[in-house]
């Protein structure tokens, strides 16, 4: 019977020792847990900032693209009228709308690393407006002057596209260019 009591006492001592936790061990595990939670929180905030930045870029690109499409419509109308010898009178309202379009493009806010694209796109819209304005004011352009203006517009379009792609690269946004020259890009969203 004495042997059984000693066995029980030994088991109780072992149970007590099992729950006897070293304070240094607790401190170490708490610090490790705090470090893990801190790292996860930092990565979550970083990812959120990256998503917000990419959404800002997408909004800017979409707005500027709409302005570029509208300005191209006007310059193509003038080009068509000049090549076919048509007299396509534009109203003062259309001129004012195009002018407003040009001003809107120059004042459009742009994301970080997109200043060069903003300047190229606003410059292209301004050049298209000047082409439209000269036609609107009945400035007589010779055939070679028309070709020179159209060539300048094509060069500005190429520069804008080149700067657009380099801005996507600088922002870390993936994009694809189709055979037709159409550019599609993707961003991360929540």
What is the tens place of the pLDDT at every residue in 25-74?
778 888 999 999 999 999 988 888 888 888 999 999 999 999 999 999 98
Q: Which residues of the chain have pLDDT under 50?
A: 1
pTM of the model: 0.76
Report pLDDT for 190. Answer: 73
pLDDT at site 1? 45
Per-residue pLDDT, 65 = 94
> What is the C-alpha separation between 23 and 45, in angstroms, rounded?
33
d(CA 165, CA 168): 5
pLDDT value at position 69? 94
pLDDT recorded at residue 4: 60
Q: Name, in order, each residue with C-beta under 8 angstroms of 88's C-beta and a sequence gap of 6 or more.
A: 77, 78, 80, 81
CA separation for the pair 70, 85 (Å, rounded) = 23
In the chain, where the domains are located: 9-186
């Amino acid at each position: 019977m004495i042997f059984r009591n000693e066995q029980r006492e030994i088991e109780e001592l072992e149970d007590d020792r099992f729950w006897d936790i070293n304070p240094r061990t607790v401190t170490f595990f708490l610090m490790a847990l705090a470090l893990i939670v801190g790292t996860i929180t930092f990565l979550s905030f970083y990812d959120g900032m990256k998503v917000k930045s990419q959404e800002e870029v997408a909004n800017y690109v979409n707005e500027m693209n709409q302005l570029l499409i509208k300005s191209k419509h006007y310059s193509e109308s003038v080009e068509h009228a000049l090549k076919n010898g048509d007299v396509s009178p534009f109203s003062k309202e259309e001129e004012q709308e195009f002018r407003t379009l040009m001003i809107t493009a120059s004042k459009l806010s742009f994301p970080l690393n997109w200043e060069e694209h903003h300047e190229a796109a606003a410059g292209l819209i301004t050049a298209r407006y000047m082409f439209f304005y000269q036609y609107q004011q009945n400035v007589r352009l010779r055939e070679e002057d028309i070709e020179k203006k159209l060539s300048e517009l094509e060069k500005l379009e190429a520069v804008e596209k080149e700067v657009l792609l380099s801005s996507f690269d600088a922002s870390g946004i993936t994009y694809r260019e189709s055979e037709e020259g159409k550019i599609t890009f993707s961003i991360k969203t929540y």
